[in-house]
A and B are shown apart, each in its own frame.
Chain A
């Protein structure tokens, strides 16, 4: 099945810094989502982004489907950005999401 690799596994940032998280897929995907798992364990939808670029406030995401990767940009990070960021994509055209192991982000004041 599809393999989803996220990097880096851990990231520590000073408040106000910018960061880029990467997600690589072993096969092409036609559905890709980014989630934020907050310190209370809730999974929050960030982006549904099969291709192209989307922005939502300080966060933006870009997926290059032909090259099988997606990037999540966090600008001017805040302590509330801390948590684990997951990307997920389907195994094939009509199968459920397969998750990466996540990037654990800690933003320090």
Chain B
């Protein structure tokens, strides 16, 4: 059972480039989430989804887009990378908001 899988693990982007962070879960969870963690800080919610076709903004959504075409996948898109988006990105999933959430291993992104 793989749980939550994120790719890539590391990436360096130039300012203005775009990329997609991939996230997949095999637990048949309805809810999926994207968080970012800046150095020395807790995790902040970017976007989340309560099921296929439904997404909603979190605390820090600016500069990001998401889609949820299947239950398993929840990609995060950065369209015009900025240095402020240098962070570690975590994807997570849960059956619902009252059950345990499980996290992927994170993607460390540097924008230069």
Per-residue contact bits, chain B 33-77, to A (CB 8 Å; 1 contact, 0 not): 101000001111100100000000011000000000000000000
Does A42 have its Cβ within 8 Å of any Cβ on chain B?
yes
- In the bound complex, residues from chain A placing their C-beta under 8 Å from that of B1 are none
**Interface centre among B31, B101, B103, by most A CB within 10 Å?**
B101
The size bracket of the interface on B is: 20 to 34
CA distance A102 to B40 in the complex (A): 9
Q: Are B31 and A96 in contact (CB under 8 A)?
A: yes
How many inter-chain residue pairs (CB < 8 Å) link A and B?
58
- In the bound complex, residues from chain A placing their C-beta under 8 Å from that of B90 are 43
Q: Are B42 and A94 in contact (CB under 8 A)?
A: no
Q: Are B101 and A99 in contact (CB under 8 A)?
A: no
User: A99's closest neighbor in chain B, by CB?
Assistant: B42
Q: Are A33 and B100 in contact (CB under 8 A)?
A: yes
Per-residue contact bits, chain A 78-109, to B (CB 8 Å; 1 contact, 0 not): 00000000101010011111111110000000
Q: Are B100 and A102 in contact (CB under 8 A)?
A: no
- In the bound complex, residues from chain B placing their C-beta under 8 Å from that of A102 are 42
A–B pairs, 28, beta carbons within 8 Å: A30-B98, A31-B98, A31-B99, A33-B100, A33-B101, A35-B103, A41-B88, A41-B105, A41-B106, A42-B105, A42-B106, A43-B90, A43-B106, A48-B99, A48-B100, A86-B43, A88-B43, A90-B97, A93-B98, A94-B97, A94-B98, A95-B97, A97-B92, A98-B45, A99-B35, A99-B43, A99-B44, A102-B42
